[in-house]
């Protein structure tokens, strides 16, 4: 991975230019160049980064975003291709206003994981009275899914390393440690069973425990276990094979998420920030799988 200087062209129809204040790092970013999505040399150089927050500096023709017309000077959140940058052009369909109460880092880190969390809850039909198991409840996607499930009136049991348990309790989540004996620990907390399982981890343990404890496989959804979903008949969400992309649900999730974050009703933990030039170190930190929150690049 290297930083190179490129001209940002004038925005075309339906585009705006955003001066980046913060760029969100997602596990997808390193998977993107890992070969998991193909290794065609003609696609190089790959520009990395799905989401940024920043200020609009130029506006192309027909610049109406989902929240209305976009103007120079607007503080925005943008879904982009190549967000690890000081400036980037964005399609207006993925550009929404940044609430003043939400800082640049949180604004850059919320939408991708938050949209995934909303999709997971919708796909599993989580609602009042449900008991829900969230695998990876202290991860970036899992923590939002767990909080949103609590807000929807569900009882939530979440797996995490012990050092994260206090944070989960603060969310109203009942923490359990993952690892051998997980099904027994969850059953001890919920002897009447689990109604739905949300898997953000994808290990055989997470899948096996979900299959063992949730009677209705249409109420198990994973964002990682694509292979197991094909053989075991549960839902898989996102961009992998056989997955439901949930484009509309994810595209509209900002309408629910941003007011909650702005009102302090949703916690988006920021684990660490890195200068843009240290994006490779940021990826090593995220690859470890225990970052404990979002990682953000600052140009």
Residue 113 contacts ligand NAP per CB under 6 A: yes
Smallest gap from Cβ 286 to ligand NAP, in A, equals: 6
Candidates 38-46, 72-80, 124-132, 195-203: pick the segment binding ligand NAP (CB under 6 A): 195-203
CA 163 – CA 290 distance, rounded (Å): 11
Phi-psi region of 198 (alpha: psi -120 to 50; beta: other; left: phi over 0): beta
Query: What residues between 246 and 275 interact with ligand NAP by CB under 6 A?
Result: none
Smallest gap from Cβ 246 to ligand NAP, in A, equals: 8
Smallest gap from Cβ 236 to ligand NAP, in A, equals: 7
Is-cis flag, bond preceding 52, omega within 30? no
> Are the C-beta atoms of 276 and 299 separated by less than 8 Å?
yes
Candidates 26-34, 92-100, 122-130, 209-217: pick the segment binding ligand NAP (CB under 6 A): 26-34
Smallest gap from Cβ 182 to ligand NAP, in A, equals: 9
Buried b (16+ CB within 10 A) or exposed e, 246-255: beebbeebbe
Candidates 53-61, 96-104, 159-167, 276-284: pick the segment binding ligand NAP (CB under 6 A): 159-167
C-alpha distance from residue 251 to each of 89, 96, 142, 257, 290 (Å):
18, 11, 19, 11, 27
Candidates 7-15, 52-60, 70-78, 198-206: pick the segment binding ligand NAP (CB under 6 A): 198-206
DSSP 81-112: S--SSSEEEEEGGGEEEPPTTS-HHHHHHHHH
> Between β-strands 75-79 and 51-59, what pairing exists: parallel, antiparallel or unpaired?
antiparallel
> Are the C-beta atoms of 51 and 111 separated by less than 8 Å?
yes
Residue 209 contacts ligand NAP per CB under 6 A: no
Residue 203 contacts ligand NAP per CB under 6 A: yes
Of 114 and 299, nearer to ligand NAP (C-beta) is 114
Smallest gap from Cβ 165 to ligand NAP, in A, equals: 9
CA 267 – CA 137 distance, rounded (Å): 13
Residue 109 contacts ligand NAP per CB under 6 A: no
Of 137 and 154, nearer to ligand NAP (C-beta) is 137
Q: Which of 82, 109, 290, 274 is nearest to 200 (CA)?
A: 290
Residue 169 contacts ligand NAP per CB under 6 A: no
Residue 220 contacts ligand NAP per CB under 6 A: no
At CA 4, angle to CA 71 and CA 94, rounded to 5? 30
CA 279 – CA 99 distance, rounded (Å): 26
User: Cα-flanking dihedrals φ and ψ of residue 167, to 5°?
Assistant: -60, -40
Smallest gap from Cβ 29 to ligand NAP, in A, equals: 9
Q: Which of 136, 147, 157, 228 binds ligand NAP (CB under 6 A)?
A: 136
Candidates 63-71, 93-101, 200-208, 258-266: pick the segment binding ligand NAP (CB under 6 A): 200-208
Of 178 and 254, nearer to ligand NAP (C-beta) is 178
For ligand NAP, the binding residues (CB under 6 A) are: 26-28, 113, 116, 136, 138-142, 159-161, 164, 178, 200-201, 203, 223-224, 237-238, 286, 289-292
């Amino acid at each position: 991975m290297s930083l190179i200087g490129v001209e940002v062209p004038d925005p075309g129809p339906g585009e705006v230019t955003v001066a980046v204040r913060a760029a969100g790092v997602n596990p997808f970013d390193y998977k993107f160049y890992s070969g998991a999505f193909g290794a065609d040399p003609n696609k190089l150089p790959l520009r990395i980064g799905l989401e940024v927050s920043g200020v609009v500096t130029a506006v192309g023709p027909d610049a109406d975003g989902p929240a209305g017309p976009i103007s120079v000077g607007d503080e925005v959140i943008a879904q982009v291709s190549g967000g690890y940058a000081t400036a980037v052009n964005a399609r207006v369909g993925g550009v929404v206003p940044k609430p003043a109460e939400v800082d640049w880092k949180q604004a850059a880190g919320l939408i991708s994981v938050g949209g995934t969390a909303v999709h997971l809850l919708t796909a599993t039909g989580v609602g009042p009275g449900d008991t829900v198991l969230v695998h990876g409840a202290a991860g970036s996607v899992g923590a939002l899914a767990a909080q949103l499930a609590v807000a929807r009136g569900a009882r939530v049991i979440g797996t995490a390393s012990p050092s994260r348990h206090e944070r989960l309790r603060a969310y109203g989540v009942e923490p359990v440690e993952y690892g051998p004996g997980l099904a027994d620990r969850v059953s001890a907390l919920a002897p009447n069973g689990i109604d739905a399982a949300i898997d953000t981890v994808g290990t055989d343990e997470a899948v096996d425990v979900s299959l063992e404890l949730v009677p209705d496989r249409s109420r198990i959804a994973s964002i990682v276990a694509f292979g197991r979903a094909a053989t075991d008949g549960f839902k898989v969400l996102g961009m992998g094979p056989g997955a439901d992309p949930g484009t509309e649900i994810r595209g509209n999730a900002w309408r629910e998420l941003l007011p909650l974050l702005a009102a302090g009703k949703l916690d988006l933990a920021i684990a660490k920030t890195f200068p843009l030039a240290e994006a490779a170190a940021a990826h090593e930190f995220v690859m470890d799988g225990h970052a404990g929150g979002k990682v953000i690049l600052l140009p």
